A and B are shown apart, each in its own frame.
Chain A
C-alpha cells in the first residue's frame, strides 16, 4: 500500500558564513603623487588599534564579562551588586556583538585603498568601482546587522532568564521582562530586515524548494523553505 506522506514545511534557519576576514590593511607603498590614496591610507592606519591581541579579543573579553556577570548575579545577595552584575552581563553581550562586528566588518578604508593601488586593475572603470563599493557596503551593513542580531538575541535570553530564574525584587523582574521584550523586537527586526546592498550581494534570504520523492511503496511531497540571515 502506498503511503502518501505529506510533509510539509521544513523551515531551517541558517546563517551564512561571513565573508572572509578582512583585517586592518598595512599599506606598504603609497604612491607619492596620489594624494587621495594617501588620505585613504592614513585613515586606514588611524583606525587600527595600537595593539591587538587577536581579531577575537573583543568577543573573548565579552565572554569573560558574560560569565562573571552571570556567576555574580546568581550568587550575590546584595541587590545593589546584583544590579551591578546585571550591567556586567549586558556589557559582556554587547561586547560579543561588537566582536562579531569587528570580525565581519570589511574595513572600508583599507578595502578601498587596496582596490585603488592594486596593480592588476590599472584603470578602474565606473562599473568595477560601483561593484566594489556595493560589495563593501553590503559587507559593512551585514556586519552591523549580525552584531545587532546576535547581541539582541542573547540579551533577550539573558533578561528573560534573569526575570524568571533570578531572585531579584519584583520591580526589577518587571524591568528585565520589559528589556527582554524590547530586545526580542530588535532581534526579530535585525534578523529579517536586509538592506538593498545586502540583498544584491547575499540574496533575499528566502529559498523555497519543492520536494517530491516517490517509490513503489510511498510518495513524499513537501517543501523546504530556507531563510538565511
Chain B
C-alpha cells in the first residue's frame, strides 16, 4: 500500500526563512518594515535636529495670528486683519472655484471637440486635430502666460470704454467688459431679497440660493419618480406614457416661480469714474487661468471622449437600429452607457489633474491655496514645514475626495459583471 498520510512537516530551521516560500514573504516584509521605520526615524530625527538648530518648533499656532496681507478676490469676507487660517480658507475656496468652473467648461469643450474630431466634415475634424495636438504638446504654463498676456497687453484699459465714441466696447449685449485689469461681468440682483443665513465666522449663504438648491433637488427627484412611474406603466401595459413635458415642468416651473418671486435680474457693470461698478469685476488672473485650464484639459478630454466613442463597435449601433430604436434612444440606451464606461476613469484623472494644475495660479497672481498658505503666509511667517505640510494635506484630501466621488459614479455606470 502506498502511504497516503500527510508527511510530517520538517522541523523549522532558520534557513527556511529565506528558502521556504511560506516564510520568505514574511521575512521580506519584516526587512522592508525595519528599513522603512529606520528611514522614517532618520528623517524625523534630522528634522528635529534641524528645527532645533534653527530655533524653530513645529507648531500650527501661527494660523491664528493676524495675516496682514490683502487678497484681491475673496469669495467670503476677508481683510488683512483676519487670521492666516482664514486666508488659507479663502485660498482653498479660490482653488475650488477655478477647479469647478474649469472642470465644467473643460468637459463641455472636450466633449464638443472629441465629437467634432470624429465628424465626417473634413475641415472641422482637421481643425479639432490641430487644436488637440497644439494644446496637448505645449506646457500648460505657456498657455496660462499667453492668455494672461492677451488680457493684460491687448485688452483696453477701463477708461477706453468712456465717452460718446469710446475706443472699446462691451460684448454680449453690453453685459461683459474685457479690460486689461479685470473682466467686468454682470451680477444677479434681487428686488425681493430674503436675506441670508449666517453660518458663523462671517460666512453667509443667501436664502435665495438655498431655495434654488432645494427646488432643483426636489425637481430632480420628482423627475426620477416620473421616470420610474413611466417605467412601471410600460412594464404593465407595454406602452410608455409621454412624460417629457411633465419632467420639463417639474424641473423648470418651480425655479421660474422663484425667479419671479425674488425678482431676480442681471445687473450689468457700468463705467463710473475710472472703474466698472455694479457688476462683478473678476480678476484677469482667474479668467486667464480658467480659460487656459479649460482649453488645455479640454484637449485631453477630447481625446478621451474620442477614444470612448471609437471603443464602441459599430455593431452596437447597427444592432440598436435593427431593433427599431430611434437615434436618440440608441445614443441614450446603447452607445452612451458603454462609452461612459471607457470614458469615466480617465476623465476622473483629468479632473484631478485640472485641480492640481490650478496651483499654477501663482504664475498669474491669482491667490489660490498655493498663493495664500503656500505663498504669502509661508513667506511672512517663515514656517515652511507647517505651511507646506498643511497645503499638501489639503490638496491630498481634495484629490482623494474627487476620486472617491467619481469612483462611486464609475461603479454605477460600469459593466455589471456576474
Is B one of A's binding partners?
Answer: no
